[in-house]
Amino acid sequence: MKRQVSELLKVLIVEDEYIIRQGLVHTIDWEALGCRVVGEAANGAAGLELIKQQEPDIVLTDIIMPTLNGLEMIAAANALPGLSFKAILLTSYTEFGYARKALQLGAVDYLLKPVDEEELAKSIKKIQGEQADKALQAQADAGPKEKIILVDWQKYLSESNLRNSYVAQALYRIRDHYDEKISIEALADELAVSASYLSRKFKEATAHTFVELLSKYRIQKAIHLLEKGTYRVYEVSDLTGFNDYKNFCVVFKKYMKRSPKEYIKNIDADG
pLDDT tens digits, 78-99: 888 888 899 998 877 665 567 6
Q: Rounded to whole angstroms, how far apart are CA atoms 70 and 13?
A: 11
Residues 148-161 have a mean pLDDT of 80
What's the pTM? 0.55
Question: What percentage of the chain carries pLDDT values higher than 70?
Answer: 86
Q: Rounded to whole angstroms, how far apart are CA atoms 48 and 71?
A: 11
Whole-number pLDDT of residue 266: 78
Domain shared by 161 and 46, yes or no: no
Domain shared by 111 and 155, yes or no: no
Secondary structure class of 268 (helix, strand, coil)? helix
Q: Rounded to whole angstroms, how far apart are CA atoms 235 and 167?
A: 31
Whole-number pLDDT of residue 38: 95
Which residue would you say has higher pLDDT here, 131 or 176?
A: 176
As to burial, measured by CB atoms within 10 angstroms (0-12 exposed, 13-18 middle, 19+ buried), residue 171 is buried
Boundary residue ending a domain (95, 124, 153): 124
Whole-number pLDDT of residue 4: 46
Domain shared by 156 and 119, yes or no: no
- For the range 78-86, what are the long-range contacts, defined as Cβ-Cβ under 8 Å and sequence gap of 24 or more? 78/105, 78/106, 80/51, 80/52, 83/51, 83/52, 83/55, 85/12, 85/51, 85/55, 85/56, 85/57, 85/58, 85/59, 86/57, 86/58, 86/59, 86/127, 86/130
Domain shared by 157 and 263, yes or no: yes
End-to-end alpha carbon distance in the chain: 38
Structural domain includes residue 132: no
Query: What are residue 37's DSSP bridge partners?
Result: 11
Domain shared by 108 and 155, yes or no: no
Residue 133 clears pLDDT 80, i.e. is over it: no
Boundary residue ending a domain (96, 124, 152): 124
Q: Rounded to whole angstroms, how far apart are CA atoms 231 and 15?
A: 57
Domain shared by 266 and 147, yes or no: yes
Residue 139 clears pLDDT 50, i.e. is over it: yes
Structural domain includes residue 137: no
Boundary residue ending a domain (55, 90, 124): 124
Residue ranges making up the domain that contains 189? 143-270
Structural domain includes residue 24: yes
Q: Mind listing the pLDDT tens digit for each residue in 4-32?
A: 444 789 999 999 999 999 999 999 999 88
Confidence of residue 142 (pLDDT cuts 50, 70, 90): low
Nearest Cα neighbor of 145 from 261, 233, 263, 254 is 263
Domain shared by 186 and 249, yes or no: yes
Structural domain includes residue 138: no
Q: Rounded to whole angstroms, how far apart are CA atoms 206 and 221?
A: 19
| Alpha-carbon separation of residue 233 from 182, 219, 222 (angstroms) | 21, 12, 9
Number of independent structural domains in the chain: 2
Q: Mind listing the pLDDT tens digit for each residue in 243-253?
A: 889 999 999 99
Q: Mind listing the pLDDT tens digit for each residue in 37-93?
A: 999 999 999 999 999 999 999 999 998 888 899 999 999 998 888 888 999 988 776
Which residue would you say has higher pLDDT here, 23 or 132?
A: 23
Q: Are 225 and 238 in contact (CB under 8 A)?
A: no
Alpha-carbon dihedral angle through residues 216, 217, 222, 223, given to the nearest 10 degrees: 70
Domain shared by 120 and 175, yes or no: no
Q: Rounded to whole angstroms, how far apart are CA atoms 113 and 103?
A: 18
